[in-house]
Amino acid sequence: NAGVTQTPKFRILKIGQSMTLQCTQDMNHNYMYWYRQDPGMGLKLIYYSVGAGITDKGEVPNGYNVSRSTTEDFPLRLELAAPSQTSVYFCASSHGGAGYGYTFGSGTRLTVV
Amino acid sequence: GQQLNQSPQSMFIQEGEDVSMNCTSSSIFNTWLWYKQEPGEGPVLLIALYKAGELTSNGRLTAQFGITRKDSFLNISASIPSDVGIYFCAGLITQGGSEKLVFGKGTKLTVNP
């Protein structure tokens, strides 16, 4: 059971560079989420999707973009990396929405220098 | 916006001791979830609570959904070294027809053998 798979695990970006954080799940979950976790700050929702072709902004969407062309994949795009985007990023999925609990990936640690 | 106040921020205990942590808010939540995060991993769901007053156990863990729906607590009995990690509470609210999960900032637990 792979669950939620995130790649890469670690990445260092220079200011202004772009990258895509990959997330894929094999549980046929409709709901998928992207969170960022900063030390001592808990988890903040960036974007979420309730199904293929549908995405919506969370609490902290600025500087990010997402797409959901398939049920399995939910990539997160950083177009112009900034130091403020240094964080640990978690992708999660749920079969029935937030109230059923999420399955989280193991995270991507991103450093922007 | 809705905020969860999770306390304590950190705990240092001896193996075998009981642990108690809680989350409070000025907002009413429909569901409370408790997660544990180990170093380098994503959070894992421990317990979900769906009704005010509900008391649910999962092994040595017990959690309760407060009567006012504004708080929840998590107890760990007879702690062991593998209980080490960060414990997060999360509350579910419904806004404008969409569900939103709000996370606390976490309680970092250290267990000394």
- Interface mutation vs chain B, best among A1, A27, A43, A55, most B CBs within 10 Å: A43
Confidence of residue A2 (pLDDT cuts 50, 70, 90): confident
pLDDT value for A100: 79
pLDDT in tens, A11-68: 999 999 999 999 999 999 999 999 999 987 889 999 999 999 999 999 899 999 999 9
Cβ A21 vs Cβ A66: under 8 Å: no
Chain B's closest residue to A48, CA to CA, is B100
Which pLDDT score is estimated for B99? 78
The type of residue at B105 is K
Q: Where are the beta strands (DSSP E) in chain A?
A: 4-7, 10-13, 19-25, 31-37, 43-51, 54-57, 64-66, 76-78, 87-94, 103-104, 108-112
**Separation of alpha carbons B76 and B83, rounded Å:** 9
- Binned at pLDDT 50, 70 and 90, residue A95 comes out as confident
Per-residue model confidence as pLDDT tens digits over A103-112: 999 999 999 9
Distance, in Å, from the CA atom of A52 to the CA atom of A73, rounded to the nearest integer, reads 9
Q: Do B42 and A43 touch (CB under 8 A)?
A: no
Task: Give the Cα separation of B66 and A98 in Å (integer).
Answer: 19
The reported pLDDT for the residue numbered B75 is 98
pLDDT per residue as tens digits for the range B77-86: 999 999 999 9
Nearest to A52 by CA among A93, A1, A102: A93
pLDDT at B21: 97
Q: Which residues, given as ranges, of chain B have pLDDT below 70?
A: 1-2, 96
Question: Residue A111 is which amino acid?
Answer: T
- Which tokens go with B94? 């419904």
Does the pLDDT value for residue A90 go beyond 70?
yes
- A23: β partners: A6
For residue B26, the model assigns a pLDDT of: 92
Residue of B nearest to A40 (CA): B105
pLDDT band at A74 (very low <50, low <70, confident <90, very high): very high
8 Å CB contact of A105 and B42: yes
Question: pLDDT category, A101, cuts 50, 70, 90?
Answer: confident
pLDDT value of position B94: 79
Chain B residues whose beta carbon lies within 8 Å of the beta carbon of residue A34: none
Determine the pLDDT at residue B2.
65
Count of helix runs (H) and strand runs (E) in chain A: 0, 11
Give the minimum alpha-carbon distance from B113 to chain A in angstroms, rounded to a whole number.
Answer: 25
Sorting pLDDT into bands at 50, 70 and 90, what band is A1? Answer: low
Name the closest residue on chain A to residue B4, using Cα atoms: A42
